[in-house]
Structure 1
Amino acid sequence: MSEIDLHRAARLSVAPMMDWTDRHCRYLHRLMSKDTLLYTEMVTAPALVRGGAVHLLEYSAEEHPVALQLGGSDPRELAEAARLGAAAGYDEINLNVGCPSDRVQSGTFGAVLMRQPELVADCVEAIQDAVDVEVTVKCRIGVDDQDPSTVLPEFLDTIAGRGITRFTIHARKAWLQGLSPKENRDIPPLDYPLVHKMKAEFPDLHLSINGGITTLDEAVLHLEAGLDGVMIGRAAYHNPSDVLLAADRRIYGRDHEVDAPTVVADMLPYIEAHLTSGGRLHQITRHMLGLFTGRPGARHWRRVLSEGANKPGAGPELVLAALDHVTNAPVANGGIHA
């Protein structure tokens, strides 16, 4: 959507996370922040083009600005998948060059593509030729025994040579052999200085940093140090209130901030519509469990939803019952507890 300033929106983004950032999660996050850029889970080009899984592209119009992340390594197939995404109205098409899972490697996409920058360049060029929306790349600083200080600038230079101007860099290597996807999110050491150095070397590129960032305070430090954007992953999912409720004010300078109980109330019509269409409550509330992390009553909120949302007939009244545990929770000695 051309009226959206994606470079501004990308000052803060929520990372694409498999099994987490589905359309229900994104709707929740949008209620918490009007400006933050949201990403889909990674959708593979073969699933869309060969598998006809266009239902994976479903989203609510309220989610804008929202980006579609694609996985794949065949330029023509990615181009066709991107056409489907652009036709669905996504604001951005992002190519995944960072996921380290075995499943992704076997499909020759994700982090393994850090070894084939020319192929990545061919892929993004094909996507750009196919769509009018902005095309971006999310990558690692390298894989396995690569030297990131050499590999990363060469990678950026190669891809930028095909017209890509916006990258999100996960500031860790990916070890494709020997570490699980979960371990690859924690064990390889973070190298924030290298990402900042890339901004100095490529001042015309819009660079966002990702990996290990958990608070808005940290995000602001990276922005003040010269980076163009910050992408937050697990912290935005498990503790969305701390990351997103103040984001519009602190990151974008907008006079907008809501509280978590208001967000819950605003979710109720969405939940009702989902149930009316045949959906189940837990498909939405599983993304809401962390809304009150660190606040009195949070444990009861999680328990009520976790135990009840899967039961037949569960609906908005369960969410309101869970909310009562938060809004009526006593504060012990002026402190907070989970």
Structure 2
Amino acid sequence: MPEPTRIPGGWRVGDPAGQRRFQALAGLDPLLLESGESLPDVSLAYEAWGTLNAERSNAVLLLHGFSGDSHASGPAGPGHRSEGWWNGLIGPGRAIDTDRLYVLCPNVLGGCQGSTGPSSLAPDGRPYGSRFPSLSIRDLVAAEQRWADALGIEHWHAVIGGSLGGMRAMEWAIAAPTRLDRLVLLATTAACTPENRAFHSTQIQAIELDPAFCGGDYYGDPGGGPVRGLSLARTIARLTYGCERELERLSRQQHAHDICLFLQQDAEHLTCRFDANSYVLLTNAMSNHDVGRGRGGIAKALAGVQARTRVVSISSDRLFPPHQQLLLAQCLHAGVTFTSIESHLGHDGFLFEQGPLDPILRQSLG
């Protein structure tokens, strides 16, 4: 694998803010985590589109996937390496219509695009690195609830999330059932399976076995830290995000040996915008995701969801296969709607199949 051309990582203080806004979490108390540890001085980066109405009743919470961030809509440019990941779905007259809805998308706690995470400065003025505490999906949502409170948003017209974002959306609906009217869950699961955890484990090992990882304390390394390990982790993950049909399609479009080049370029794109510690932290949070933990099981936990719910699966998803979304739909109340999108794009279909998603979102948000 060639040497990187740029010191990798996520957004850093001093970089162009782009469309990001920043909100310190309200209250003087540190954020208490499930592990018993706490985080002081937490801040979340977010982006917003549209206008909050006088009744404060038109806010939509959009929760990004694992490698996503707050830049769901808008052009590439200073502060944003790529255009918005749902660019075709958010805006005036679009499926998520900003003429009538106020849409907010926060970068997840522990992430690396402006929110407090391992690369952030701890109270002693040094990056957290290995000292950053472990997080659960419920911790991520607890931070988002404080963030919403700080913004004065007590109720959501809808909460929408795919993959990791869908896990968070579920936790919102379970932990705060009266705070949202509608819930849209895409390509996600109520609990990670042993197979998910096995794939996650190999990705984490790829990073931690890179000598440049230094136990997580690699900030300031002129070589950029564990670039090779992070690249390999992304390649393993990319094979779970895609599917056999997608790789066959790519092989027909290119020479067969160029599949390796495709995976390498995809990994290099990730290393330029993602922090290895955040990768490990959020992967572990996903591995431990189980909405039924401490709640009497998945069915009992989901039975408490009050929001009108839409569950969307991608036919070729092998990370979170359609039968997992069917289980979700079966455990939710009778008003749930289940939709399957036919796609050869695998798990990433929830990002790229924007044509089929358009009417689904319009109907769900109506």
Q: When the two structures are superposed, what TM-score results if normalisation uses the length of structure 2?
A: 0.30
Structure in which a larger fraction of residues adopt helix: 1
Q: When the two structures are superposed, what TM-score results if normalisation uses the length of structure 1?
A: 0.32
Q: Quick one: higher RCO (CA 8 Å, sep 6+), 1 or 2? A: 2
